[in-house]
Structure 1
Amino acid sequence: MSLKKAYLLVLVVLVLDQVLKIYIKTNFLLNDEIIFFDWFRIHFIENEGMAWGVELPGDYGKLALTLFRIVAVFGIGWWLNDSFKKKASNYLIVAIALIMAGALGNIIDSIFYGVIFNESTPGQIATMFSDQPYGTWFHGKVVDMFYFPIWKGYLPSWLPIWGGKYFTFFNAIFNLADVAISVGVGILIIFNKKVFKN
């Protein structure tokens, strides 16, 4: 795969991610849900921190996270260019491109969404380019929407720790950028021998 095609893949994933997020943000109330199947839903939430809703404490936690993401993207960009120069496998090029696209997608939310949207609430749909933005630069919330509660129910009481408790598998709500990162990492793991054949 050429470097041009790799960056085209980054661009396509990034545009699709942002179009979907902007559509959800400007058409859904916070916590609105569309149920396609019991196990597949679109459920609008906003994530203030890292994956799985983890947050860094303090006033500067979000800023530190966003700055770390920006530095990481530069590192991923260097890795992509270096891998191309070394004629790495297409598996590796595609994986890095997907990870880069996903990271950029969530960075855009973190940097810009706080200053271009007003607050999404259960009673208010956000508007773009609002004169009452909900945050500041580098303090935006990441838009998430894909929800796959594949199984819900009480676990058998004989299970240690979780026995008898109500459990949902898969409980995470995520976005297209997260999917791109996960697929990229999955390629690195599953096709490890082909990825790092040199």
Structure 2
Amino acid sequence: MQDLPREKLIKYGAFALDNHELIAILLRTGTKNENVLDLSLKVMNLFRHISYIKTLKLEDLMTVKGINEAKATTILAALELGRRIHEKSHNKAKPMTTTEDIYEFLKDEMELLEQEHLIVLTLDIKGSVLKKETVYIGTTTSITVSVKDLFKSAIKFGAYGIVMIHNHPTGDARPSIQDDLLTEKVKKASELLSVELIDHMIIGKFEYYSYKGRNLVKV
């Protein structure tokens, strides 16, 4: 007889479980009409690839018959905990010294967002992150920025510089005219404030653009 997910985890460790089995443990129970493994497979059917699970919202999960608020919030809490652990461990692992470092740090958070988000990383001279903050959330196609807000933390911490990162929900990371204008505006402000604009990056789906390198990178 095949082990149930909880028994399998106890016997072999969490790494031995398939994705739907891990979800089944979070759900704990099925319904009177289907077992917990069948219910977990229905959750898996909500997204095309496991990386898309982080985009799930409460209302998405509750479209599955048998998923109530308690089950849905348990899954969302587990996802958020995993995201925070990943962010903290990556942050401590090494400083942000290359565009690749920054992309790896933020890709899971940003590449599948449905609205434009603008994040500012405030860095010391060694590339260590002093603060990471979401400065603005825009519409699906545009974002409005007050330049002074981008430098608040850098001035507060006496930082070496900032990296400005935003996503393109379309998945195409190539810069727009508005992106060019924003970069030029922020660059001029950085010179006046003596805070380096280290880079402005745009994250798409499996690609990113760096103003520092003036290149589009497919990953």
Q: By the TM > 0.5 criterion, same fold?
A: no
Normalised by the size of structure 1, how large is the TM-score?
A: 0.26
Greater RCO (Cα-Cα under 8 Å, separation 6 or more):
1
TM-score computed with the length of structure 2 as normaliser: 0.24
